[in-house]
Chain A
Amino acid sequence: MAGKEVLQSLLLPLAALSLWFGLSASGLAPGYLLPSPATVFDSGLNYIFGSPGDGPYAGRFAGDLAASLVRVLLGFAIAAGLGIPLGICSGRLALVNRLVASSVAGLRAVPGICWLPLALIWFGIGIKTTVFLVALAAFFPIYQNALTGARLVAPIYYQAGAMLGVSRLRGVFAILLPMAMPNIITGLRLGMGIAWAYLVLGELTGVPDGLGAVIIDARMLGQTDIILVGIILIAVIGRVCDRLLVAGLRLLFKSARRQR
């Protein structure tokens, strides 16, 4: 990006930050509702780099991040592992689509949060509930986009493959998946975003560690600054995960590297 474009993309965050400064400094927003940026910054440093003696949240970041990452990645992996093959099959095979489509559509109509009570009964409080919720929520966009991608592949590409001697099975890997790759990537990115959202939901339930758990915990102790720290960190980590996901796919697949 050119300097001008970078500046333009930073304009809105900088404006929000200035507004925040203004609100805190003028006293319009009391500290227990909206702590000043400086307070939040200090709390953030303390949360990330502090040693355990420095306060209730000091130095907990690494442990929370690890716990949350495991949950997100596990749930995401399950969602991708089911969503991509099922989506591709539904997109290509009318029979599979008939079998699966209405059930998936029905399940999707249920807001994810409705599953929370059931998940708690089934899996109890802990990693399993969170992973279940994350996997369930991330599944839909991954499935739907894989399906669309597979359906959009023009028959001429299969014909081209067939006349070059590619068998149907090999065509799936040599033609279908690469052609559908841009859609698959879109689905995975959406799924990754939703995974982080549902992580917080899953960690609402009283697990001791995790970035979502910290936010909930901080609310009960009235530590608004820590809530903000958690929100900002989740935003940053979510963004990093998205970039890493795209970079990883580009590294692994030509079809991801060279299309759109």
Chain B
Amino acid sequence: MIPATHGELETAGRPVILEITGLSHHFVHDGAVVPVLRELTLTVREGELVCLIGRSGCGKSTLLKIVAGFLAPTAGRCRLDGRPIQRPGPDRGVVFQEDALFPWLTVRENIGFGLTGQHWPRQQRQREVDRILDLVGLQDCGDYLPQALSGGMKQRVALARVLIRFPRLLLMDEPFGALDAQAREEMQELLLDLVRRRRQTILFVTHDVQEAVVIADRVVVLERNGGRIREELTIDLARPRDRGDGRFQACCSRLRQWLRT
């Protein structure tokens, strides 16, 4: 097992997975051009958990959609492992904020969905689904339909169905925003466990400063309306992190300061 503490020092030497340079995007609304991102540059290294925080409308979700391939940027480059991102694909698994599970498929079938068309033998597929179910702690709920699940369980399934394809990069768009405090903390722990076990690289959008400091190796703060990066903060605290700790709170207040101004 990989030690629980790994942070900036460890990821610094690792190869860059995601490379965003000079990325700009604008929407056209009623004939008016609304800029969302302006010449944004950002890199994410292998095994890193980077949190993007910012106020509503700062473009953090737009950035994630561009990386996912759902949206083509107006200008700039966006590369995954050196190759330009052109369309969505299983190398970039997305966990959405809202429930996007397929309602007519059981938990097991939802998780296996990404494997259809992969020509895996049935048994091997079953084993893989079981393994992932286990990983997200849903071993007893495999035959439930999504409608029978709580919000937290749904997001576990949403996570599981992308993990089964071993994404190079995991994109999460405020995935725990709709959960109660308890479920949210459980999911954060699960995510950290995943990072530890699979060295999963994650780009995580949130507006919750505490959440960012709990999970991130590095927090990237977007400008209020500028569509640019305001500041970056490397969170070099040992895990598991104690929310009551002085340094933890110092990180939070610095981030809040940046968000405010």
User: Of B96, B104, B162, which is in contact with the most chain A CB atoms at under 10 Å from its CB?
Assistant: B104
| A181 proximity list for chain B (CB < 8 A) | 104
Is residue A178 within 8 Å, beta carbon to beta carbon, of the partner chain? Answer: yes
Task: Give the Cβ gap from B100 to chain A, nearest Cβ, in Å.
Answer: 5
Judge whether B96 and A156 touch: CB under 8 Å: yes
In the complex, which residue of chain A has the Cβ closest to the Cβ of B89? A165
| B116 proximity list for chain A (CB < 8 A) | 166, 174
How many of chain B's residues touch chain A, expressed as a range?
A: 20 to 34
Is residue B92 within 8 Å, beta carbon to beta carbon, of the partner chain? Answer: yes
Is residue A259 within 8 Å, beta carbon to beta carbon, of the partner chain? Answer: yes
Main secondary structure of the interface of A (DSSP, over half): helix
Main secondary structure of the interface of B (DSSP, over half): loop
Is residue A12 within 8 Å, beta carbon to beta carbon, of the partner chain? Answer: no
Judge whether B114 and A164 touch: CB under 8 Å: yes
Is residue A258 within 8 Å, beta carbon to beta carbon, of the partner chain? Answer: yes
Task: Give the Cβ gap from A232 to chain B, nearest Cβ, in Å.
Answer: 37
Of the A-B pairs whose beta carbons lie under 8 Å apart in the complex, a sample of 30, sorted by A's number, is A156-B98, A156-B100, A159-B70, A160-B94, A160-B96, A162-B69, A162-B70, A162-B88, A162-B89, A163-B88, A163-B94, A164-B90, A164-B114, A164-B161, A165-B90, A165-B114, A165-B117, A165-B118, A166-B117, A167-B117, A174-B116, A175-B102, A179-B103, A181-B104, A254-B104, A254-B105, A255-B104, A257-B104, A258-B145, A259-B103
Residues of B within 8 A of A (CB): 68-70, 87-90, 92-94, 96, 98, 100, 102-105, 113-114, 116-118, 145, 161-162, 165
Closest 9 pairs (CB-CB, A-B)? A162-B88, A255-B104, A164-B114, A165-B90, A163-B88, A160-B100, A258-B104, A156-B100, A163-B94
